[in-house]
Chain A
Amino acid sequence: MNRKKIKHITKYRLFWPIVCLILVLLFNLIKTPTFFKVSINSNGVLYGYIIDIINRSSELIILAVGMTLCVASSAGTDISVGATMAVAGAVCCSILGSGEAYNAPYFVGILGALLVAVLCGAWNGFLVAKLKIQPMVATLILFTAGRGIAQLITGGNILYIKVDNFKYLGSTLPHVPVPTPIFVAIGVVILTYLLLKKTALNMYIQSVGINSKASRLLGLNSTLIIFLTYMFCGLCAGIAGVIATSRIYSIDANNVGLNLELDAILAVALGGNSLGGGKFSLAGSVIGAITIQALSTSLYAMGVSADQLPVYKAVVVILIVTLQSPEFKKFVNHQKQKRVEKIGEKVA
């Protein structure tokens, strides 16, 4: 009975991703006993490692949500999201201008940035869905060209936005104790979830991802669905780009979202989603994104130098991915069975 229960829990989709996250956090607790301490500082803002992790992982969560849908529908990844972030940030800053007041209303800047990001996504979607180019290759175009485009928009300079309320999106609103990016991330996740659950999109995407030809024969417009997921991924990258830009109230086209596309793909994989498309879990990706950021933040807390970070990250990722791989699970099950058989032999 008990064993059955355990088996039931371990079969649960999100079991392994959650275990991984808990392991990372537990390790932190041992290493840094104050890790879970959250206090309110003199600015009236929540303060602590945990807040840092959730705050800093907001962009990654948003990217991972978009990436999950891309992966699910097309069995391929969009590697241009980091560059799209830079383009969105560049558009936002160049519309708003670096004067003492905005050149255009704030929402026009944000809207412009998101629009361009959606365009970037649509371009990727067109290449992948319509021209049937391999996603990795199709998005490689914007991956290489995106930062160049962003540099063109900014004229190769770092543009600063001097108006104070531009910072709100990336830090905190006055009298609100929780950093704004957290709200945005939660909003994106909930809206996406509702969009998927309240419409049939969830099923459409999964069915296209599992077999796009069969889905088309069933009457689903596979091309359109793949196109839409890439457009949505562009939109997510745009939102993440605007947040990242607001954090440093300037656009640094070379560094905004640098290597974040890889973290986003990793988040999807860590969340237990198959990169082969089909079934997916948004919650898994979100947990994956938080795990990655928890890892970075805890390594900072332990004083690991930022340039050595990727090495430690890689080691942990290898461990986590191995734990989740079907072959490894098979191996473990096989060993268990052997042991059971041995015991059986002994008893006999």
Chain B
Amino acid sequence: MKRKVFALLMSVLLIGAMVVGCGSKNSTDSKDTSGDASSDASQSGDLITIGFSQVGAESDWRVANTESMKSALSEENGFKLIFADAQQKQENQTKAVRDFISQEVDIIVIAPVTETGWETVLGEAKDAGIPVIIVDRMIDVSDDTLYSCWVGSDFKQEGVDAANWLVEYMDKQGTGDAEHNIVVLQGTIGSSAEIGRTQGFDETIAAHANYKILEEQTGEFTQAKGQEVMEAFLKKYDNIDVVIAQNDNMAFGAIDALKAAGKTPGKDVTIVSFDAVKAAFESMIAGDMNVSVECNPLHGPRVSELAKKLMAGESVEKIQYVDEGVYPAETAEKELPNRQY
């Protein structure tokens, strides 16, 4: 009994210490920022304080996105950025947004982990009078006045672009009328990128009867899962000749699985990928990948422009697409030096 009570006490203490630890860290953070903000305010007038809740660092794309935001929202450009990494958990994001509200930031920027479950916390932000900019993934709320605008990619268009490229490529190879068997490595089910890319690709490819989708399965946007799922695909079907990977990391995993199975990715099997990160260009130059449809992560400049407009009280367009391209392997060599991420 005594031991049990002691253990309970210890665990309560420990958890308490952790909570206090986190709390104190946050409060010093906010102290820092408020201190900085006031000192800066006295020096250079008014910095716009932005709280940015990022998904995490799950892929190169995400890292580039974070970099772009950090460099565009710098102090030289008139911003004070408070950055919060949510480590792929929505709870962490909700907490971060509440922290931002209590720190009285000027604008909240969220790159949401999932589409749903945002009503309550965004309602709190709205009540506090803080405008919210959503980047990358879309959110699904019944009341769209909860956020000011959304900046991101047209995922459905990316899916359509990929399908069109594939059909054109096969025509060029002279196998446009032959039967093609496709497997799809989807992203995290329910994410905007997965929904948009799947929809765009499926709808476009459905118009061509000789293109058959054997199976769609999620690889959760990671290389390890992509590899594991591709291994299972390869054992199940022996006639796969096209792999659609909804991000580059899964494509790398699929390429490894194909090589391990004794196939030649890029030749026997056409690899279509999304995101177009730097490593994808290297893979294309090596001849493993055939095409990557760009998903531009450089949201920073657009967000900074929007933030300034919002602070000036101007109205902004609700949906803001960033510019994106399609990069087949033959353009890789030329394009690689221009890639920032």
Contact = CB atoms under 8 A, between A and B. Distances in A.
A300 B262 contact: no
Contacts of B262: 41-43, 45, 47
A306 B188 CA distance: 9
Contacts of B56: 254
A211 interface: no
A42 B268 CA distance: 14
B222 A252 contact: yes
A303 B217 contact: yes
A156 B85 contact: yes
A212 B219 CA distance: 46
A244 B59 CA distance: 17
Given A137-B10, A144-B18, A171-B256, A41 B261 contact: yes
Interface stretch (B200-208, B226-234, B298-306): B226-234
A49 B235 contact: yes
Interface of A: 32, 34, 41-43, 45, 47-49, 52, 56, 133-134, 137, 140-141, 144, 147, 151, 156-158, 160, 171-172, 244, 247-248, 250, 252-256, 297, 300-301, 303, 305-307
Contacts of A32: 236
Contacts of A151: 57, 85
Interface string B215-227: 1011110111101
Given A41-B262, A52-B231, A137-B10, A252 B58 contact: yes
A255 B223 CA distance: 10
18 contacts: A34-B235, A41-B261, A41-B262, A42-B262, A156-B63, A156-B66, A156-B85, A158-B59, A158-B249, A171-B260, A248-B253, A253-B57, A254-B56, A256-B224, A305-B189, A305-B217, A306-B225, A306-B229
Contacts of B261: 41, 43, 47
B41 interface: no
Interface in B49-63: 56-60, 63
Given A134-B7, A247-B227, A254-B87, A158 B57 contact: yes
> Interface majority SS on B: helix, strand, loop or mixed?
helix
Contacts of A160: 279
Contacts of B218: 305-307
B60 A158 contact: yes
A247 B85 contact: no
Q: Enumerate the 9 nearest inter-chain pairs by beta-carbon distance, A residue then B residue, closest first.
A: A42-B262, A300-B232, A41-B262, A248-B223, A137-B11, A156-B57, A43-B262, A306-B218, A307-B189
Contacts of B259: 43
Nearest to A154: B57
A156 B63 CA distance: 8
Contact of B228 (A134, A300, A303): A300
A281 B181 CA distance: 47
B88 interface: yes
Nearest to A147: B87
A300 B57 contact: no
A306 B63 contact: no
A300 B229 contact: yes
Nearest to A250: B223
